[in-house]
């Protein structure tokens, strides 16, 4: 996610901004840039890591400036697309996504504006410039422009006519003002200012910030507001975690927003943008990935197959060496958070060589899989720091749900009415995610953390969800957990079920719920401690559960996401009780770029 730092004060802005940007590196980025004053506002940008930018800014001096690290959304991670962007009198940096930038861009082109980049940000710079050329009142101009913007944003704004002031505003993207001695800052997050000050103000939506040698926060009627000055007491590391004890927990709590970010691009223009892909030529799909990405693929298989399209899911390290049964009517989908996993990348290259169509589902913009696949859908989960994936898996499943709808509709297995009925739930779903995140899980976690074996059972899609829950628990708490298709237990594994052994059972698929419930009774009869995760429509007054987590029954596309949450949080809590190194489990790497 992008990072913003702005400075006005009596020291060198360029150095302070650079140091602030370094503290925001944990947010992830693929290019960076800075604007500073030297007789006029000038811009320097570089692709890649901050040291590329650092080499270009050596020796510069200015008392005002804005800097930015860009996590590409609109347009590739190039110098042209890096921020800041200058149009006319306005130089700006932006964190977020302007959803209606395309229509604004067309409007501005008809007014004679031309654009150097593919970004939504440059469009906003032009919009400010256009309004300012009509009425040179900066606060009113910012406020008028804001009224036209749909989406999320935090902006840092410089105007040629204000060489001692920096303006800022936000909606749905974070922004703070740092207050130092004879110097003031804007930033995306507290770590950026901690080297200079621990005093800060949280900016609310609707406010406009002006920092110079003073800090002024205006309300929507341009009156100056009194704001509380907060003091940050923690160290840099705790600031990066945004108050959470671990990145994993922070990333789980980001899931409501991740869901919005990953699905909005497909929903904002109505059905057309969701149904933009033509799947009619394909007769089968292979999905390939490793670890959690493979598990997301299995969930996707159930969803897509429910609309009549055959899907096979493969572990990439196997697929790359096995015989291919694909043909010109096959599509191969490669799922990868990092976009760099060696085995998944090798599969992509193998099928591309045979001329098979490929689609990447990737988080990291500009990564190898994203660049090499015929087309790519970005899941927009933002940088994931915890080695064990949570929010990226969540976003992969969300995207696969949308693909299933696209396929179902294009195969006429899903009517427009049915599709709209499902999509209706998307706008309120982030609140439901939040609600399930806030359930109380600690009693369950406390009751299982000191066991060395744990089972997960379910059937069909519920089994796929169990596989991911099982991996999560295993990889961060080192409990030997085993996921089994519930009906397969009695073919051997049930002999391992002993008194008190924790068994997680997932029941959300009503076509098979009765069968799974019979299997749960079988393990209960052998003394298992049963933790049932069930949708509310299937819940009953069962006498075989020790613990029960009842999740809302939203629809078959969205319910799998809700199952994921308790499994992630319980894994986290158990690992914490076992005093494990949660964000960096032993022997694991975030990006597996070797075979």
Return residues touching ligand F6R (CB under 6 A): 290-293, 336-338, 341, 344, 388-389, 471, 475, 591-592
- Alpha helices, DSSP H only, in 306-428? 316-319, 342-353, 368-372, 391-410, 416-423
Which of 535, 541, 537 lies closest to 505 in space, CA to CA?
Answer: 535
CA-to-CA separations, 39 to 8, 45, 89, 213, 345, in angstroms, rounded: 16, 19, 14, 19, 49
Question: Of 482 and 550, which has the nearer Cβ to ligand F6R?
Answer: 482
Alpha carbons 351 and 554: distance in angstroms, whole number: 37
**Measured from the CB atom, is 306 or 317 closer to ligand F6R?**
317
Helices (H) and strands (E) in the chain, counts: 20, 24
Q: Shortest distance, CB of residue 291 to ligand F6R, whole angstroms?
A: 2
Would you say 16 or 396 has its CB closer to ligand F6R? 396
3-state helix, strand, coil in the chain (%, to 5): 40, 25, 35
Shortest Cβ 220–ligand F6R spacing (Å): 43
Query: Nearest approach, Cβ of 395 to ligand F6R (angstroms)?
Result: 11
Cα 449 to chain center, whole Å? 29
Minimal distance, residue 541 CB to ligand F6R, in Å: 36
Q: How far is the CB of 444 from ligand F6R (least distance, A)?
A: 20
Please, are residues 30 and 47 in contact by the beta-carbon 8 Å criterion?
yes
Rounded-to-integer distance, Cα 126 and Cα 364, Å: 28
Min separation Cβ 345 and ligand F6R, Å? 9
Q: How far is the CB of 551 from ligand F6R (least distance, A)?
A: 21
CB 549 within 8 A of CB 533: yes
- Report, in Å, the least distance between residue 530 CB and ligand F6R: 25
Tell me how far, at minimum, the Cβ of 71 lies from ligand F6R, in Å.
Answer: 16
Which residue out of 2, 290, 454, 470 is catalytically annotated? 2
231 burial type by CB count under 10 A (0-12 exposed, 13-18 middle, 19+ buried): exposed
**Quick one: 288 or 558, whose CB is closer to ligand F6R?**
288
Nearer to ligand F6R, 471 or 523 (CB): 471
What residues contact 357, with CB distance under 8 A and at least 6 apart? 282, 330, 331, 332, 374
Asked about 391 being catalytic, the answer comes back as no
Shortest spacing between CB 361 and ligand F6R, in angstroms = 9
Contact 360, 334 (CB under 8 A): yes
CB nearer to ligand F6R: pick between 341 and 564: 341
> In the complex, which residue's CB is closest to ligand F6R?
291
Kindly provide the residue ranges of all beta strands, DSSP E only, lying in 290-329, ordered along the sequence. 310-315
Are the CB atoms for 217 and 177 separated by under 8 Å?
yes
| Cα(132)–Cα(142) distance, integer angstroms | 9
Looking at beta carbons only, is 155 or 504 nearer to ligand F6R?
504
Report angle CA 291, 439, 267 to the nearest 5 degrees: 60
In the complex with ligand F6R, the residue whose CB is nearer, 101 or 394, is 394
Q: Which residues contact 87 (CB under 8 A, 6 or more apart)?
A: 113, 122, 125, 126, 128, 129
Tell the smallest beta-carbon distance from residue 531 to ligand F6R (Å): 20
For residues 511 and 514, what is the distance between their CA atoms, to the nearest angstrom? 8
Beta bridge partners of 169: 155
Residue 543 to residues 6, 112, 532, Cα–Cα distance (Å): 60, 72, 11
Q: Which residue has the tokens 């429509």?
A: 537
Element (H, E) at 105: helix 101-110
Residue-wise DSSP of 121-170? HHHHHHHHHHHHHH---HHHHHHHHHHH--EEEEEEEEETTEEEEEEEEE
The catalytically annotated residue of 49, 163, 171, 590 is 590
- 470 is known as an active-site residue: no
Q: Which residues contact 383 (CB under 8 A, 6 or more apart)?
A: 1, 26, 27, 28, 71
Query: Nearer Cβ to ligand F6R, position 512 or 592?
Result: 592
Nearer to ligand F6R, 330 or 564 (CB): 564
User: What dihedral do alpha carbons 22, 28, 32, 36 form, nearest 10°?
Assistant: -50
Max Cα separation, the chain?
A: 81
Judged by beta carbon, residue 149 or residue 388, the one nearer ligand F6R is 388
What is the Cα gyration radius of the chain? 26
Q: Which residues are catalytic?
A: 2, 590
């Amino acid at each position: 996610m992008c990072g913003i730092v702005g400075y006005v004060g009596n020291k060198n802005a360029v150095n302070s901004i650079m140091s602030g940007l370094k503290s925001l590196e944990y947010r992830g980025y693929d290019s960076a840039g800075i604007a500073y004053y030297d007789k006029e506002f000038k811009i320097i940008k570089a692709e890649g890591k901050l040291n590329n930018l650092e080499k270009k800014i050596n020796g510069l001096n200015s008392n005002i400036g804005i800097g930015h690290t860009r996590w590409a959304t609109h347009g590739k991670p190039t110098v042209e697309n890096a921020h800041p962007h200058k149009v006319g009198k306005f130089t700006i940096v932006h964190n977020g996504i302007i959803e209606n930038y395309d229509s604004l861009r067309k409007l501005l082109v008809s007014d004679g504006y031309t654009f150097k980049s593919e970004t939504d940000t440059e469009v906003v710079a032009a919009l400010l410039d256009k309004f300012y050329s009509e009425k040179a009142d900066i606060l009113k101009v910012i406020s008028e422009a804001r009224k036209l913007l749909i989406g999320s944003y935090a902006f840092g704004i410089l105007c040629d006519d204000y060489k001692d002031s920096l303006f800022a505003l936000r909606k749905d993207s974070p922004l703070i003002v740092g207050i130092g001695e004879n110097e003031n800052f804007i930033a995306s997050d507290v770590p950026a200012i901690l080297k200079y000050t621990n005093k800060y103000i949280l900016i609310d939506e609707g406010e406009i910030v002006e920092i110079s040698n003073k800090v002024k926060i205006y309300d929507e009627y341009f009156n100056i507001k009194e704001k509380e000055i907060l003091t940050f007491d923690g160290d840099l590391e705790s600031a990066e975690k945004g108050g959470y004890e671990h990145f994993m927990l922070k990333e789980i709590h980001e899931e409501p927003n991740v869901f919005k970010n990953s699905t909005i691009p497909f929903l904002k223009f109505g059905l057309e943008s969701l149904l933009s892909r033509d799947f009619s030529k394909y007769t089968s799909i292979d999905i390939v990935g490793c670890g959690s990405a493979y598990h997301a693929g299995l969930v996707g298989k159930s969803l897509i197959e429910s609309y009549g399209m055959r899907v096979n899911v493969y572990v990439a390290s196997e697929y790359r060496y096995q015989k291919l049964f694909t043909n010109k009517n096959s599509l191969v989908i490669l799922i990868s958070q990092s976009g760099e996993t060696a085995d998944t990348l090798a599969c992509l290259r193998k099928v591309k060589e045979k001329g098979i169509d490929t689609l990447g589902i990737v988080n990291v913009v500009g990564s190898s899989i994203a660049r090499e696949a015929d087309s790519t859908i970005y899941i927009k989960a933002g940088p994931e720091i915890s080695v064990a994936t949570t929010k990226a898996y969540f976003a992969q499943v969300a995207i696969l749900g949308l693909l299933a709808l696209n396929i179902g509709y294009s195969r006429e297995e899903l009517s427009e009415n049915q599709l709209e009925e499902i999509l209706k739930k998307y706008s309120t779903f982030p609140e439901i995610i939040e609600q399930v995140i806030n359930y109380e899980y600690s009693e369950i976690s406390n009751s299982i953390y000191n066991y060395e074996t744990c089972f997960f059972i379910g059937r069909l899609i519920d089994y796929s969800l169990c596989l991911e829950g099982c991996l999560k628990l295993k990889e961060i708490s080192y409990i030997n957990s085993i996921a089994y298709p519930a009906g397969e237990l009695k073919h051997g594994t049930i002999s391992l079920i002993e008194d008190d052994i924790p068994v997680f059972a997932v029941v959300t698929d009503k076509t098979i719920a009765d069968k799974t419930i019979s299997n749960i009774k079988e393990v209960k009869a052998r003394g298992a401690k049963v933790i049932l995760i069930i949708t509310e429509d299937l819940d009953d007054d069962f006498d075989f559960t020790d613990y029960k987590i009842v999740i809302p029954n939203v629809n078959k596309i969205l319910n799998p996401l809700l199952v994921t949450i308790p499994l992630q949080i319980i894994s986290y809590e158990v690992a914490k009780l076992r005093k494990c190194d949660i964000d960096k489990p032993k022997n694991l790497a975030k990006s597996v770029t070797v075979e």
